[in-house]
Amino acid sequence: MNNLLETPIEYLKGVGPARGELLRKELGINKYGDLLHLFPNRYIDRTRYYKVSELINNNAEVQVVGKITNLKTVGEKKTRLVATFTDGTGEMELVWFQGQKWIRENIKINVPYVIFGKASTFNGTFNMAHPELELLSEHEQSLRSAMQPIYPSTEKLSQKGITNKVVNKIMQQLFHETQARFGDVLPPSILTELQLLPKNAALFNIHFPKSPELLARAQFRLKFEELFFIQLQLITKNLIRKHKIKGHIFDKVGNYFTVFYEKHLPFSLTNAQKRVIKEIRHDMGQPAQMNRLLQGDVGSGKTIVALMSMLLALDNGFQACLMAPTEILANQHFLGLSELAQPLGINIKILTGSTKTVDRRIIHEELENGALHIIIGTHALLEDRVQFHNLGLAVIDEQHRFGVEQRSKLWRKNDIPPHVLVMTATPIPRTLAMSLYGDLDISVIDELPPGRKPIQTVHRYDSNRLKVWKFLKDEIAKGRQVYIVYPLIQESETMDYKDLMDGYESIARDFPLPHYSVSIVHGKMKPADKDSEMARFAAGKTNIMVATTVIEVGVNVPNASVMVIESAERFGLSQLHQLRGRVGRGADQSYCIMMTGQKLSNDSKTRLETMCRTNDGFEIAEVDLKLRGPGDIMGTQQSGVLNLQIADIIKDKDILQLARHHAIRLLQDDAPLNKPEHAALRHAFIEMGKKKNIWNYIS
């Protein structure tokens, strides 16, 4: 059977070299097996038969059983062939403009036909142009008697006569030649428990559904199997990693952690923070490398989790590092963390591109001899001259800015790699995270610290700018501070800078000294200037911060309570959400105002409405996913990578969860798949692994 499915497609009766070439080029169908897995995009319900008297002028495709009683040619130069069709409840007309000769010679009068097509009224009579025609006697025997599958196609294919009907014929031939025997590989226990259709019946009903119910079951079965295999791969990979990649065992909870927890914790931890710290502690207590993704919405309090994890490393005699994507962020982490760690007597330093040579040399030395406990930094940490005495934990903030290769630079030098904690505020819907990053462990902080007021978000048109400015002045009068953010998209950088500078000038004019003072930060400034502007704003010396998305990640100024986003239609949803997360960090009511012009695309409208409706990062991520598709999530460009044939990660997330559940259970029971009842599964799994494995690219 398997060999048969490897047969080149042109050998299938009715295909041949020319069509074979087309199928290959247009749809990537090389072999019988590929054709078998060419699944229909949609189905037309042909289970229902309409009476002529029931027809409605809605342009829908319908089928009617009846007889042709009369056939005539109408018109002079441009003729058309018109048939009178009746089913006893009424009469309608069938019309042909092309192929009249063939119809005239082949049509049978007063014999029952099934006709199929779009019915519309003209001069009070229903008519159907170029209907599909089939003798009722043949229709009853045909495989495609119920839901009619519509296959993926291309312009070229239909031009060259490979219509849907032809694909359907070829498919029938495939089932005929292969005798439709496709063995089950899923374990019998799962088949029984979930009452899955046998593989045979599923494949048959995907192509030739006997009823809508059987079609649904067939789809479920095939989607489940596809997702089950993916999960099996991911989980196996994770198990292998846990066996193979050794890790330092942090089995002590020592003074640093305990003293900090008991004496210096500035607030009580949320339950989510406690849970996540427990998960991390558990991981780092195992003799395998931790590889954990920590997801938490902006402001959920990831930093304290990072610190406490680092304290555990210190308690076990190791160093720790925290890497941030920008200098501003690294600085902010350094300030915050050294304040928190100060009573513990920890040696903590910062290393960035602008660290002075003298300081740099000391840092390199102390890292190497172990005198430095915690180092905070940017990419500068990845330089070759940076050698750790014994790095036990690497925390990476906002992972998507660092490539996987860059990360691994941190520990190529050591024998045993450090534990890795990747923190991200980009909420990835859990279902997607599971299928994309299934071999990372995931912790989620799904709870904000108490007392936060939800940020009020509004959309305003540029024409209302005066009112918005008035609002800003009122807030500033109450002592609040304001961000005004401009988009900066690389392709149009020069223009964007002009927008930014123009904006800055007019803001400076509208908010004049000495009442107001305005800061500006953007990517073209020197790091030192950026930092001092940020510091002035953070210290409350300026009221307004005009910025590009430099401030998108991480910046924490609790007194800033208004975020104005200019040209908001140009930002993606996750960026808008990140920006909004810069406010709402203090006790005051915070606001996010999204400014746009009048003209908005539908997607832009959806984004703005979503932002106004909810503050929930996960809900926003789901919408984002729907708008953009999984391909764009976190810039991973994985649209083609998942390469799913039938399942849809978003629409079928329930099946995904079910598949994951069963994959985990199966591997708990029999990870090597050695049991006799798992032989077929094992074989299929190994075959799949031989193919180019997409998952290797991801984590």
CB closer to Mg ion out of 615 and 638: 615
- Can you tell me which residue has the tokens 């985990």? 664
Query: Given candidates 178, 231, 295, 303, which one binds ligand ADP under the rule CB under 6 A?
Result: 303
DSSP 103-116: HHHH--TTSEEEEE
Q: Closest approach of Cβ 483 to ligand ADP, in Å?
A: 16
CB closer to Mg ion out of 445 and 488: 445
Q: Closest approach of Cβ 314 to Mg ion, in Å?
A: 21
Using the contact rule CB under 6 A, the part of the chain among 231-239, 295-303, 362-370, 597-605 near ligand ADP is 295-303
CB closer to ligand ADP out of 219 and 303: 303
Alpha carbon 169 to its chain's center: 37
Query: What phi and psi, each to the nearest 5 degrees, are found at residue 27?
Result: -120, 0
CA distance 328 to 336: 12
Using the contact rule CB under 6 A, the part of the chain among 86-94, 245-253, 291-299, 362-370 near ligand ADP is 291-299
Alpha helices in 539-600 (DSSP H): 573-580
Interface map 583-622 toward ligand ADP (x if CB under 6 A): --x-------------------------------------
Residues contacting residue 222 through CB under 8 Å, at least 6 positions apart: 39, 202, 203, 206, 646
CB closer to ligand ADP out of 139 and 585: 585
Question: What is the crossing angle of helices 212-244 and 199-207, to 10°?
Answer: 130
| Cα-based distances in Å from 484 to 529, 562, 583 | 18, 8, 12
Interface map 501-540 toward Mg ion (x if CB under 5 A): ----------------------------------------
CA distance 196 to 608: 42
DSSP 394-460: EEEESGGGS-HHHHHTTTTTSSSPPEEEEEE-SPPPHHHHHHHSTTSEEEEE--PPTTPPPPEEEEE
Q: Closest approach of Cβ 446 to ligand ADP, in Å?
A: 12
By CB under 6 A, tell whether 299 contacts ligand ADP.
Answer: yes
Which helix (H) or strand (E) covers residue 510, if one does?
A: helix 493-510
Q: How is residue 697 written in tokens? A: 């690219």
291 touches which of Mg ion, ligand ADP, none (CB within 5 to 8 A by kind)? none
Query: Given candidates 44, 194, 269, 698, which one binds ligand ADP under the rule CB under 6 A?
Result: 269
Q: Closest approach of Cβ 379 to ligand ADP, in Å?
A: 20
CB closer to ligand ADP out of 35 and 310: 310
Q: In what order do the strands lie in the sheet with 374-377?
A: 348-351, 374-377, 319-323, 391-397, 419-424, 291-296, 441-445
CA distance 519 to 508: 9
296 touches which of ligand ADP, Mg ion, none (CB within 5 to 8 A by kind)? ligand ADP
Query: Given candidates 438, 554, 584, 630, which one binds Mg ion under the rule CB under 5 A?
Result: 554
295 touches which of ligand ADP, Mg ion, none (CB within 5 to 8 A by kind)? none
Please identify the residue of the shown chain whose CB is closest to the bound ligand ADP.
Answer: 301
* Residues 308, 260 contacting (CB under 8 angstroms): yes
Query: Given candidates 207, 302, 379, 653, which one binds ligand ADP under the rule CB under 6 A?
Result: 302
CA distance 431 to 433: 5
By CB under 6 A, tell whether 301 contacts ligand ADP.
Answer: yes
By CB under 5 A, tell whether 581 contacts Mg ion.
Answer: no
By CB under 6 A, tell whether 378 contacts ligand ADP.
Answer: no
Binders in 419-438 for ligand ADP, by CB under 6 A: 425
CB closer to ligand ADP out of 308 and 391: 308
CB closer to ligand ADP out of 235 and 280: 280
By CB under 5 A, tell whether 586 contacts Mg ion.
Answer: no
DSSP 19-36: HHHHHHHHH---BHHHHH
By CB under 5 A, tell whether 247 contacts Mg ion.
Answer: no
Q: Which of 82, 85, 75 is nearest to 96 (CA)?
A: 82
| Sign of the Cα pseudo-torsion (366, 368, 373, 376, in order) | positive
CA distance 242 to 605: 45
By CB under 5 A, tell whether 296 contacts Mg ion.
Answer: no
Q: Closest approach of Cβ 325 to ligand ADP, in Å?
A: 13
Please identify the residue of the shown chain whose CB is closest to the bound Mg ion.
Answer: 554
Using the contact rule CB under 6 A, the part of the chain among 263-271, 313-321, 464-472, 624-632 near ligand ADP is 263-271
* Residues 362, 587 contacting (CB under 8 angstroms): no
Using the contact rule CB under 5 A, the part of the chain among 7-15, 280-288, 430-438, 550-558 near Mg ion is 550-558
By CB under 6 A, tell whether 49 contacts ligand ADP.
Answer: no
What's the maximum distance between 2 C-alpha atoms anywhere in the chain? 101
Q: How is residue 19 written in tokens? A: 């069509």
By CB under 6 A, tell whether 449 contacts ligand ADP.
Answer: yes
Query: Given candidates 122, 267, 461, 697, which one binds ligand ADP under the rule CB under 6 A?
Result: 267
Binders in 219-238 for ligand ADP, by CB under 6 A: none
By CB under 6 A, tell whether 270 contacts ligand ADP.
Answer: yes
Query: Given candidates 304, 323, 372, 386, which one binds ligand ADP under the rule CB under 6 A?
Result: 304
By CB under 6 A, tell whether 553 contacts ligand ADP.
Answer: no
Query: Given candidates 319, 556, 596, 615, which one binds ligand ADP under the rule CB under 6 A?
Result: 556
300 touches which of ligand ADP, Mg ion, none (CB within 5 to 8 A by kind)? ligand ADP
Q: Closest approach of Cβ 209 to ligand ADP, in Å?
A: 49
Task: Using CB atoms within 10 Å of the CB of residue 581, give its burial: 0 to 12 exposed, 13 to 18 middle, 19+ buried.
Answer: buried
248 touches which of ligand ADP, Mg ion, none (CB within 5 to 8 A by kind)? none
Q: In 3-state terms, what secondary structure has residue 545?
A: strand
CA distance 105 to 282: 80
157 touches which of Mg ion, ligand ADP, none (CB within 5 to 8 A by kind)? none
CA distance 630 to 436: 9
CB closer to ligand ADP out of 577 and 585: 585
CA distance 653 to 659: 10
Footprint on this chain of Mg ion (rule: CB under 5 A): 554
Footprint on this chain of ligand ADP (rule: CB under 6 A): 267, 269-270, 273, 296, 298-304, 425, 449, 556, 585
